[in-house]
Amino acid sequence: MQNQSFDFKEICSSEPLGFIKPSSIMDFKDPLVKWIDENTTVVGYLSDDHNSSNPLEDMDGYGFIYTARDQTQEFNSVLGLDQYGSADTDLVSDHPLLRRRWVAAAIEAEEFQVYCQATAGCKEFSDDYYRGRAQRYWRENHDKYTYYSQSAIYDFEFSGRVLRELWSELRADRDKSIGDPDSVVLDCYEHGGCSWSLAGSGNQCRWDTSSGAGVWIPDSEARLEIDRRAKVYTFGFVDFTINEVGEKIWFALIEGQYQKGLKSKSPYFKQWSEAFAWLEQQGQTLKLSALGTKSEQQRYVRVVARRRAAMELAESALTLYNAWVNGDVYGTVVATLNRCNHGSWHVVDSESCWGYYGSEDSYSALRSDFDDVLADYRQRFAPEHCSHWTEPNAAQG
Q: 266-310, pLDDT tens digit by residue?
A: 999 999 999 999 999 999 988 888 888 999 999 999 999 999 999
In angstroms, the CA 32 to CA 18 distance is: 18
| pLDDT for the residue 261 | 66
Contact (Cβ atoms closer than 8 angstroms) between residue 179 and residue 79: yes
| pLDDT for the residue 150 | 43
> For the residues 222-231, what does the mean pLDDT come to?
96
- 125 pLDDT band, cuts 50/70/90, is confident
In angstroms, the CA 279 to CA 250 distance is: 12
Contact (Cβ atoms closer than 8 angstroms) between residue 299 and residue 245: no
47 CB-near residues (< 8 Å, 6+ apart)? 20, 21, 22, 23, 330, 331, 332, 333, 352
In angstroms, the CA 120 to CA 126 distance is: 13
> 28 pLDDT exceeds 60?
yes
In which element (H, E) is residue 240 found?
strand 236-242
| pLDDT for the residue 393 | 44
In angstroms, the CA 134 to CA 126 distance is: 12
> 145 pLDDT exceeds 90?
no
**DSSP H stretches of helix in the chain:** 8-14, 55-58, 72-78, 96-108, 110-118, 127-141, 157-172, 220-233, 272-283, 294-300, 306-325, 359-380, 383-386
CB atoms within 10 A of CB 153: 26
Phi, psi of 211 (to 5 degrees): -80, 135
> For the residues 101-128, what does the mean pLDDT come to?
89
**Could you report the per-residue pLDDT of 302-340, keeping only the tens digit for each?**
999 999 999 999 999 999 999 999 999 999 999 999 888
- Choose between 343 and 25: higher pLDDT: 25
In angstroms, the CA 194 to CA 202 distance is: 11
Q: How far is CA 65 from CA 42, 212, 285, 322, 323, in A?
A: 41, 12, 37, 11, 14
> 389 pLDDT exceeds 90?
no
Phi, psi of 80 (to 5 degrees): 75, 30
> 115 pLDDT exceeds 60?
yes
| pLDDT for the residue 212 | 93
Q: Dmax over Cα atoms in the chain, in whole Å? A: 114
